Chains A and B, each alone.
Chain A
Amino acid sequence: DQQVKQNSPSLSVQEGRISILNCDYTNSMFDYFLWYKKYPAEGPTFLISISSIKDKNEDGRFTVFLNKSAKHLSLHIVPSQPGDSAVYFCAASGNNQGGKLIFGQGTELSVKP
């Protein structure tokens, strides 16, 4: 049973526009959510996170929104740049998880010049 789902395997956006990547989860015990970015042949790189006590966290061009009632989070990238082209993974954890992360399947973002 997939506890963290990214239903869009790919997304294509024009440079300068907004990229919105979505993630849904099923486990209400999750209390911390993270986004990772992955380039080919490299390991995932931490991008941004949000605690369940917040509904928004912003870091430069990246903003993560959390809707606990809908068990949904999204990553907004504004403005999108060609260097943002990568696979983005949503991940979740809980206090009783011991640091273990549950990852979604990933969304491949392509930002076209």
Chain B
Amino acid sequence: GAGVSQSPRYKVAKRGQDVALRCDPISGHVSLFWYQQALGQGPEFLTYFQNEAQLDKSGLPSDRFFAERPEGSVSTLKIQRTQQEDSAVYLCASSSGTHYGYTFGSGTRLTVV
């Protein structure tokens, strides 16, 4: 597609529920990033893939967060046993390989109730 596509756009989860957030990057983009943006804050890095390899997962806040990109294209961010502090917008971005101005999707707004 022309841009980075994320689904769903909105997700309401009950506390303790597992969720899966999907990211379709721009076709051919090697690098894929996940960020978490809390209300009133800037995006915070979660994890980075180069093709199917997860090269950096230092930003994942706990072992309840897991990301994968098995075929080097679509990526899924999974959050297990969601908690209220997980409520945020989750942004996916992709780039052709450099860190110069990569393209973000519109995000998934997760609300945990």
Contacts and interface: CB of A to CB of B under 8 A. Distances in A.
Interface of A: 4, 6, 32, 34, 36, 41-46, 49, 89, 91, 93, 97-106
Interface stretch (B11-19, B40-48, B60-68): B40-48
B90 to A, nearest CB: 11
Contacts of B55: 98
23 contacts: A36-B104, A43-B93, A43-B105, A44-B91, A45-B104, A46-B102, A49-B100, A89-B43, A98-B55, A98-B56, A99-B31, A99-B99, A100-B59, A100-B99, A101-B33, A101-B99, A103-B35, A103-B42, A103-B43, A103-B44, A104-B42, A105-B40, A105-B42
B103 interface: yes
Contacts of B75: none
Interface string B87-113: 000010101001111111111000000
Interface of B: 4, 31, 33, 35, 40-45, 48, 55-56, 59, 91, 93, 95, 98-107
Nearest to A104: B42
A101 B45 contact: yes
A99 B4 contact: no
B35 to A, nearest CB: 8
A32 B33 CA distance: 17
Nearest to A93: B99
Contacts of A105: 40-42
B101 A34 contact: yes
Nearest to B31: A99
Contacts of A41: 106
B101 A99 contact: no
A89 B48 contact: no
B8 to A, nearest CB: 14
Nearest to A9: B40
A99 B44 contact: no
